[in-house]
Structure 1
């Protein structure tokens, strides 16, 4: 992720998203979560969903770049700060180091790898009854070649990606996917509270759960 990518962050409602007739829960996700488009394999654009906590962390990294001795010429958000380097910290390496530090507390630490997470999402999604539109969203989000061409171009907008993929990731996190077998992405439920980050405290107060919608 580069600083330029971060400048193109999308959050909240746009003109296209307003046409989707979103539920209250979906609107809540959009106001608290953001999407950043990164360059994937073969230069294919890949969307990344940022939770409020991750947004706070990312903005902190940017705010304290100078104090952290990061070279002004370094274009990356997760920048190396050694000897004026213009390099970046590899996410897979950071994940591996973190897992190694807590390996004794995890039953299968070797499974916590970025590649395995990608495979887990794809495998878990097979349990659900994905329609063509949801399958298209999943393929684009994972950077795969689209196997299904949809009639509605609006499904490519950031609002649809965030409101469809976030519930799936939340349900996977809490282990509730098996109980929702045959459920479309738009109908998935989860118990996680979607709250405001420090930067979003000016938004609507309170908590809301997806099932309330």
Structure 2
């Protein structure tokens, strides 16, 4: 991610235009999770969601760049020492997976995570629109004509996919039976990071 890509982050649905299409929880999530887009593999656009606290930490990091000489001239949000390249998240994840001593470190990879999310969502009875929202968020191919007949992607991804990710992170996904992304009702315990956010 470049500093420029990060700087385009924003809260979605901040004008309330889609309030009538969203549940109360989805509206709250749209006010808590920031979204930006980066250029991914093969020139595709990939969405990145991050909570308010992560944004505050990255903003602090950016303000501190002036004291780090290798960062001054780098366009990357997380530059290497040479500043001409960036720290690769996949390399960091691989290193941490090996260092933490898990039995199967190869299972802790970003590709495996995307595949796991895609597999777990097969347990749900997702509508075509919900499958499209999730597939696009994960960077998977979808039919081109669907691009022209949908609600804004940014808001729908934050409102729908963030509930799924929070439920998976808290372990609630195996204890709950839901048929669609709309049926997900995240427990208060699941929203640990949102405790300071007024819903």
TM bin (shorter chain)? 0.7 to 0.9
The reply on whether 1:98 has 2:96 as its aligned counterpart is: yes
Distance 2:147 2:98 in 1: 46
The reply on whether 1:137 has 2:125 as its aligned counterpart is: no
Query: 1:144 aligns to what SS in structure 2?
Result: coil
Question: Of the candidates 152, 159, 164, which is equivalent to residue 163 of structure 1?
Answer: 159
CA shift, 1:61, in A, is: 2.0
Question: Is the 1:129–1:181 Cα contact (8 Å) retained in structure 2?
Answer: no
CA shift, 1:154, in A, is: 3.7
Which stretch of structure 1 is more off in the superposition, 30-39 or 3-12?
A: 3-12
Distance 1:12 1:144 in 2: 22
| Equivalent position of 1:153 in the other structure | 149
Q: Give the structure-2-normalised TM-score.
A: 0.86
Q: What does 1:177-196 align with in structure 2 at a 5 Å threshold?
A: 177-191=173-187, 192-193=190-191
Question: Is the 2:94–2:105 Cα contact (8 Å) retained in structure 1?
Answer: no
- Residue segments in structure 2 that go unaligned for 5+ positions in a row: none
Distance 1:133 1:42 in 2: 24
Q: Give the structure-1-normalised TM-score.
A: 0.81
The reply on whether 1:110 has 2:75 as its aligned counterpart is: no
- Residue segments in structure 1 that go unaligned for 5+ positions in a row: 209-213
Distance 1:156 1:11 in 2: 13
Cα pair distance change 1:100/1:179, threshold 3 Å: same
CA shift, 1:150, in A, is: 4.4
| Equivalent position of 1:128 in the other structure | 124
Which stretch of structure 1 is more off in the superposition, 121-130 or 179-188?
A: 179-188
Which stretch of structure 1 is more off in the superposition, 149-158 or 124-133?
A: 149-158
Question: Is the 2:133–2:153 Cα contact (8 Å) retained in structure 1?
Answer: no
Distance 1:193 1:92 in 2: 27
Q: CA RMSD in A?
A: 2.5
Cα pair distance change 1:163/1:89, threshold 3 Å: same
CA shift, 1:190, in A, is: 2.5
Question: Is the 2:38–2:48 Cα contact (8 Å) retained in structure 1?
Answer: yes
Higher relative helix content: 2
